[in-house]
Structures are given as C-alpha cells and as structure tokens.
Amino acid sequence: MTELTKQEPTTVYIKPSTGLAALNLKDLWTYRELVFFMVWRDVKVKYKQTMLGMAWAVIQPIMTMLVFTFLFGKVAKLPTDGIPYPVFAFTALLPWGLFVTALNQGSRSLVAHHNMVSKIYFPRLILPMASVFAGLVDFLIAFVILIALMFYYQVTPAWNIIWTLPLFLLLAIITAMGVALWLSAINVRYRDVNQALPFLTQFWLFITPVAYSSSVVSEKWQIAYSLNPMAGVVNGFRWALLGSGNGPDLTFWVSASISILILISGLFYFRSMEKTFADTI
C-alpha cells in the first residue's frame, strides 16, 4: 500500500439535506481535480474526428460575424457608434459565444452524464461548471482573432478602461453559470428543456445587442431592455474594449444585478434539486 492510502479515513455523515442547506463548497474543493479533468476532456473530445479540429472555434464566430456584417452592416446599415461593423459584431460575439456554449452544454450536462449521476457520488455542481469553463477555451481562441481584427481595422482599444474587461468576463461567466444551473436542474425532471433550447438561444440572440447597438432601443424602454442580463455583459465588453457607449450606468447595474440574482437563485435551486437527481434522471 502506498503512503496515500494510509491516512486516517474521514467520516462522512449522510442525512436528508434541507433545501437551503449550505452548498457544500468543501466537497467541491475536494473534487477540484475532477473539474479540471472534465474541462480537459470536453475540450479534447469536442473536435475529435473533425477535419478542421480546433479551427472550428474560430470558424463559427467568424462566419456569424460575416453574415451579420453583410445583413446588418451593409444591407440594413445599422449604427455602430463609428466602429467598423466586423469589429463591433465580433466583440459582442465573444461573450455571446461563451454564453451559448454554456447554455447548451451546461443545460444538457446532467442528463448527458446520467450514468455518472445515477451511479457515483460527486458534487453534481461540477457538471454544469465544467461545461461553462470548457467554453472559456473557445473564448480565448476567438479573442486572438479579435485582436487581429482590431489591428486590421486599426481600431485602438480603450486603453484607460481595458483593465475592466476581466470583470465583464466574470459577469459573462456568472450569467452563463446561473442560467446553466437553472436549466440543467430543470432538465433532469422535464426534458422539455432540450426541445426549448434551440428556440431559447435564437430568441435570446434577438433581444441581446449582438448584431445591433443597444442605443437603437428607445429611451423609455432602456430599463426594460436591460432586464436581459446578457445586454449588460455585451455592452460592458464593447465599452471596455472599444470605448463605445457610456460605460456602467443604471441600465448596466440592472443587468448585472439580474445576473447575480440568477446565479444565486440557480445555486439554491440546483442544491435543492440535487438530492433527487439520481432518482429522477
């Protein structure tokens, strides 16, 4: 026997947990390596047996950007606050891509790993969490393309505020994680989520300022518009990177509060459903 197995075994107490019980973050920490392995596996497997491999992480946002540029930039000639349309759209497509991956992979994560859930104990939170983090890899690759685009169109980044970008990235992760928690837990019980996802994704894209600037929304609707947490994220990205818009104002804080609210409520909902996952999946 190795040294590792000689340590004194710890005692685990198993009892019915109440809905608002602690999130058991200690367990999550114990299993931190599993999060790493799940992310690593998702990234590794994602582009296996594809001809273009990792290039897909780049092709997808570029194709969307080209379509948007043609439709909204050239044909509809939407206002972009003086920024070349491709850069304008691509900046928004970065957090949007992260969100969509998390929404789709995260919502399906528990059901996709039903054999793990019904056979083994591990903090279930790991599954949606790993899906969100796996989306970060694609995000980083696409970010390199954005830098190249900015060089090409000679767009100068807003140097004085660019340090806030990681904060907006964090907000994107918080939003994605919150939505993934809600939908993955509901999906265990109601597979209707699977059916609703494509529509939800499409609908959400329309109400998020990805293809257009949120300034096209009239003044009196701004607060209602900002109830969409992704509006705050996308506007934040454009502001931090390109200096477009006013920066964090009331509408932003409404969006950000909604993001945080979704995450916290998502954590509690997930936790309260977690104990029945193995029985209902």
Partner 1 sequence: MTTAISVKNISKEYQIGAAESKFRYNMLRDVLMDTVYAPVRLAKALAGKSARRENKNFFLALNDVSFDLEEGKVLGIVGRNGAGKSTLLKILSRVTEPTKGTVSVRGRVGSLLEVGTGFHPELSGRENIYMNGAILGMKRAEIDSKFDEMVEFSEVGQFIDTPVKRYSSGMYLRLAFAVAAHLEPEILVVDEVLAVGDAEFQRKCLGKMNDVAQQGRTVLFVSHNMSAILRLTNEAIVLKKGQLIKRAPTPEAVDFYLSSGQAETGERIWGKEDLPPNSAPFTPIALRIKDKNGKIIDTVRSTEPATFEWEYQLDEAVTGLRVGIYLNTMRGEYVFTAFDTDDAKQFEQFGARTAGRYISRCEIPADFFNEGRYYLGINASSFGVKRYFMDENAISFNVDISGAPGTQWPELRQGPVRPRLNWTIDKLD
Contact pattern for partner 1 over residues 39 through 78, marking x by CB under 8 A: --x--xx--xx-----------------------------
Regarding 265 and contact with partner 1 (CB under 8 A), the answer is no
Q: Which helix (H) or strand (E) is 174 found in, with range?
A: helix 165-189
HSE-up of 25 (CA within 13 Å, CB side)? 3
Q: Which two tokens stand for residue 180?
A: 């993934």
Residue 38 CB-density burial (10 A; 0-12 exposed, 13-18 middle, 19+ buried)? buried
Rounded Cα gap, residues 232 and 208, in angstroms: 9
- Give the residue with the Cβ less far from partner 1, 74 or 114: 114
272 near partner 1, rule: CB under 8 A: no
18 in contact with partner 1 (CB under 8 A)? no
The residue range among 11-19, 65-73, 177-185, 243-251 that interacts with partner 1, by the rule CB under 8 A, is 11-19
Among residues 113, 138, 180, 134, which one has the least CA distance to residue 35? 134
Q: What is the CA radius of gyration of the chain?
A: 21
Which C-beta is closer to partner 1: that of 124 or that of 238?
Answer: 124
Q: Around Cβ 52, how many Cβ atoms within 10 Å?
A: 10
**Residues between 103 and 162 that touch partner 1 (CB under 8 A):** 113, 115-116, 118-122
Q: Which is nearer to partner 1, 50 or 265 (CB)?
A: 50
Q: Which of 37, 70, 152, 203 forms a contact with partner 1 (CB under 8 A)? A: 37
Number of Cβ within 10 Å of residue 95's Cβ equals 25
Residues that bind partner 1 (CB under 8 A): 1-2, 4-5, 9-17, 31, 33-34, 36-37, 41, 44-45, 48-49, 113, 115-116, 118-122, 189-192, 275-276, 278-280
